[in-house]
């Protein structure tokens, strides 16, 4: 049986590499994504429910960071708080009717009261937000979440804080992409292309 053994070169530690004049292998950070700029300035309203504020605020924080990366400064985002998710649609409608905002984002956590109650509230809120959007032609985005199970425990709070941070980024992506799409569409309509 003929076996060929491969000789392993001894690996130098980072300390040995630096001492011998080499540089340690440092993985390169991928370049930050390049996001398109808006043609016109954007103004966004972010409406947040206070119920479980310490969880829901993670969506707001992540949203603000992501929108800033997408060329919408924090100064162009107005923050509003309401007692609970059920109060969000009325605020969204009043804000949309001002014509001051190019988009409205809602964030809330609907829990407790049994499966029918919280699912009813969440469904009602989402339908009402869609009605606001269609009546006013101001896009409305939702990060109003209804978990199947939520317990008042440190583990659940930590899980949902992380989950809301992810949702904050996702709602910012959807908001920015929709606003860019609407800018293009309205420009095409004005030019008679569509």
Phi, psi at residue 70, to the nearest 5°? -100, 25
Per-residue model confidence (pLDDT) at position 24: 59
User: Which pLDDT belongs to residue 2?
Assistant: 47
- Copy the structure tokens of residue 100: 């001051």
Q: Catalytic amino acids?
A: 117
Per-residue pLDDT band for 38 (boundaries 50, 70, 90) equals confident
Q: How many CA atoms lie within 13 A of 108 on its CB side?
A: 29
> Could you identify the residue written with the tokens 């809602």?
106
Domains of the chain: 41-190 (3.40.50.960)
pLDDT digits (tens, 9 = 90+) for 139-186: 999 999 877 666 576 877 788 889 899 999 999 999 999 999 999 998
Note the pLDDT of residue 8: 47
């Amino acid at each position: 049986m003929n076996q060929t053994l491969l000789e392993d070169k001894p690996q130098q530690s980072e300390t040995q590499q630096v001492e011998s004049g080499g540089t340690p292998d440092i993985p390169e950070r991928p370049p930050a994504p390049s996001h398109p700029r808006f043609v016109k300035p954007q103004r966004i309203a972010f409406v947040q429910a206070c119920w479980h504020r310490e969880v829901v605020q993670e969506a707001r924080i992540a949203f603000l960071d992501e929108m800033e990366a997408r060329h919408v400064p924090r100064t162009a985002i107005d923050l509003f708080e309401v007692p609970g998710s059920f109060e969000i649609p009325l605020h969204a409608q009043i804000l949309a009717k001002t014509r001051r905002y190019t988009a409205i984002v809602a964030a809330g956590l609907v829990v407790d009261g049994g499966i029918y109650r919280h699912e009813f509230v969440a469904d009602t809120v989402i339908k009402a937000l869609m009605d606001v959007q269609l009546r006013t032609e101001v896009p409305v985005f939702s990060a109003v979440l209804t978990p199947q199970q939520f317990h008042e425990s440190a583990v659940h709070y930590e899980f949902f804080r992380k989950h809301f941070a992810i949702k904050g980024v996702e709602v910012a992506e959807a908001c920015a992409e929709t606003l860019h799409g609407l800018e293009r569409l309205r420009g095409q309509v004005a030019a008679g292309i569509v």
